[in-house]
Chain A
């Protein structure tokens, strides 16, 4: 088992910012684990602009924003990047096991920063009834299919949820020639940024139906239609308001859940509602020497804010190592 000063799990914007900040604060040895074959995390599939306005004072796409950090990380000899590396075990005293093609590695870390991001809430978590055909995807998966793989999931889509990912994917599908029938939102307002409602829906003539929900998904092998119903202020169905929308694709964008299974394994206290660490301040956890940052710590609207707070996490880990780790 090797000793490492700081191990960071996750090579997206949070992990990279934490790594660079820790180095700037004097940490000599950083191991950055990334499960994918590239650094950058979800930014790589966010090919739309809108990133960097705060941090760089200019508008960048997601891959451009990521690339600025990737270059810095790659040119820093004190940061070892291990790609296709998947952490499977973390103990309270920071023994970590991770897998990569060809090896299972075990390290003892002076400090750990978890920058594991989040996963999407699914159709199942909001309990949409009906059949289980193909064509129902989390919006982020559809984004990966279209932007990374060049795969077009369908021809006629209905989007569930008007958060930013749902809005951006509505536009993305429209740009690929997919007919976006409607965005269905159970609340009275959108959770997304105003600029996204305007630029992604209004500019493309995509209807946004507030106070509606999907009451049934139809289709045996592939989605054939969804039943939609209007709800009242208590989210109860309004009788007689139902109608059916034929479509072959349903994209579900109903929020994000921080991925904190490793932290939970290390015995840290987790808020069961938000799945975030319970601690007295941001980036801390209930286990000394284990920190969390980025979307694993709290779900952010902007990547720029992730960078800002994750830099703090890197400094906190450095301070911990200065006091206790060396």
Chain B
């Protein structure tokens, strides 16, 4: 038996499960079909660490969200060197007749165990959120919500899991699952593996993977969300994450602070068929702008510097986290839509418990490395720290990305930590994520990757094979 557990999918769910299992004396394999972790559903995440409100009491996702939020605040952010900012959240209403709706969200949240909820009036909002438009009448304040970089959260979990012995295989789509006497035979990315337990955290493809393993027990419907990023100049437009009252299918169009500074508006929420459809649309932009401007009229179309679409992997209203009794050894963690990012650490603990209940011995490692040092980012540190970093390593003074202040040293560090693509560098460092979209720094980053990885520049990709940047190199 090669592995005790194989996890399919290195998004936030799979990464958190891998890191949780790496606490124990286990051989764990983490399979990712894309070129790098976080390149599926997780890369389009809003980065909100939800408090747990706006979920039905009694729901699995409500309970896991509250617990995930607690874990983030109490240990994960500090253990993994994450830049978590507890900025709080507001749910605003445009009509005082909706106050009972806010009171219901408050009561439901309190039932789930969310602390500190309070209704605030227009005078409070004028003091604390002065850019709100005149239509906003009152709000529910949710102080335990916060923001984080979703991909750096995934990378931190994966790095720490790998440090603790987890084997990561990228560009390794799972294509066949066979039964073995004590578990499964897997074919992924041209290689074969065997494992006792198979954990399915395959996001949009979780239904296919479950079926491949013999349990076609649910269907994933992609729910598309378009998000629009604003210039860093508008960083302080909002002090909280701002929500309208939720609709039946989504939490509505939000104004989202991000931990890197650029505010974001969105997302839309529309069920679609195609799991590869990541196109933004004229209609989506109009919908997002209208929704955001109703809450903050000063947001303008010209503030937008970037946009993207993501797909939430929905499977009904709640998460599906269970052992499939029809296929002993298969554990599904599927339908992990919002609030999946927040819930991931709690999902991981729950999955570990399910595995234990089905016969996996969880024996704590003596030498588990709990801490992961935070990578240095110039854009996050004061000037005196910048000076110290440059004195220690001259390449911190060699600026590659001018819009976001990223040095050659940070790009090299990202590659050493596993970045293999331009998007991987961008998600880790923010180089190319600013106003000029890589207009100035793309060639420099490609040359650094060429030096660090020994790849020809014609082999450097945006996000994996097929997305090469250039066709020919004239020698």
Contacts and interface: CB of A to CB of B under 8 A. Distances in A.
Nearest to A141: B439
Contact of B383 (A97, A149, A272): A97
B171 interface: no
Nearest to A144: B443
B462 interface: yes
Given A86-B402, A124-B437, A151-B470, A133 B304 contact: no
A122 B439 CA distance: 9
Contact of A140 (B301, B397, B398, B439): B439
B181 interface: no
A270 to B, nearest CB: 10
A122 B470 contact: no
B306 interface: yes
A319 interface: no
Interface stretch (B67-75, B98-106, B274-282): B274-282
A129 interface: yes
Interface in B17-32: none
A193 interface: no
Interface string B293-316: 000000001101111100000000
A134 interface: yes
Interface string B416-440: 0000001000000000000111111
Given A99-B397, A150-B474, A129 B280 contact: yes
Interface stretch (B149-157, B247-255, B387-395): B387-395
Interface residues of A, number: 48
Contacts of A155: 471
A145 B279 contact: no
Contact of A133 (B282, B405, B407, B467): B467
Contacts of A220: 276, 278, 466
Nearest to B442: A141
A48 interface: no
B363 interface: no
Contact of A99 (B390, B436, B443, B465): B390
A280 interface: no
A117 B2 CA distance: 58
A82 to B, nearest CB: 12
A87 B366 CA distance: 48
A64 B237 CA distance: 46
A130 B280 contact: yes
Interface in A98-127: 99-104, 119-120, 122-125, 127
Contacts of B471: 152-155, 248
Nearest to B284: A129
Contacts of B390: 99, 102-104
A122 B436 contact: yes
B470 A153 contact: yes
Contacts of A235: none
B369 to A, nearest CB: 33
Contact of B467 (A148, A154, A221, A272): A221
A138 interface: yes
B13 interface: no
Contacts of B438: 141
Contacts of B280: 129-130
A271 to B, nearest CB: 12
Contacts of A103: 390-391, 394, 397
B472 interface: yes
Contacts of A324: none
Nearest to A99: B397
A280 B463 CA distance: 48
A5 B390 CA distance: 26
B443 A221 contact: no
A295 B471 CA distance: 32
Contacts of A272: 302
A74 interface: no
B464 interface: yes
A132 B60 CA distance: 34
B278 A145 contact: no
A102 B399 CA distance: 11
Contact of B394 (A88, A101, A122): A101
A42 to B, nearest CB: 10
B386 interface: yes
A150 B398 CA distance: 23
A94 interface: no
A131 interface: yes
Given A130-B280, A134-B467, A150-B473, A102 B397 contact: yes
B475 interface: yes
B85 interface: no
Contact of B307 (A99, A100, A124, A145): A124
Contacts of B279: 129-131, 216-217
Nearest to A130: B279
A149 B466 contact: no
Contacts of A171: none
A123 to B, nearest CB: 7
Max chain B CB contacts within 10 Å: which of A97, A148, A152, A155?
A152
Given A131-B279, A133-B467, A150-B473, A101 B398 contact: yes
A230 interface: no
B386 A99 contact: yes
A222 interface: yes
Given A88-B405, A129-B285, A104 B470 contact: no
A35 interface: yes
A89 interface: yes
Nearest to B437: A122
Interface of B: 233, 276, 278-282, 284-285, 301-302, 304-308, 383, 386-387, 390-391, 394-399, 402, 405, 407-408, 422, 435-440, 442-443, 457, 461-475
Interface of A: 35, 84, 86, 88-89, 97, 99-104, 119-120, 122-125, 127, 129-134, 137-138, 140-141, 144-145, 148-155, 215-217, 220-222, 248, 264, 272
10 contacts: A99-B407, A101-B395, A129-B282, A132-B308, A141-B442, A149-B457, A150-B474, A152-B470, A220-B278, A220-B466
Shortest 8 CB-CB distances between A and B: which pairs? A221-B466, A102-B394, A134-B462, A150-B474, A221-B467, A86-B399, A152-B472, A134-B467
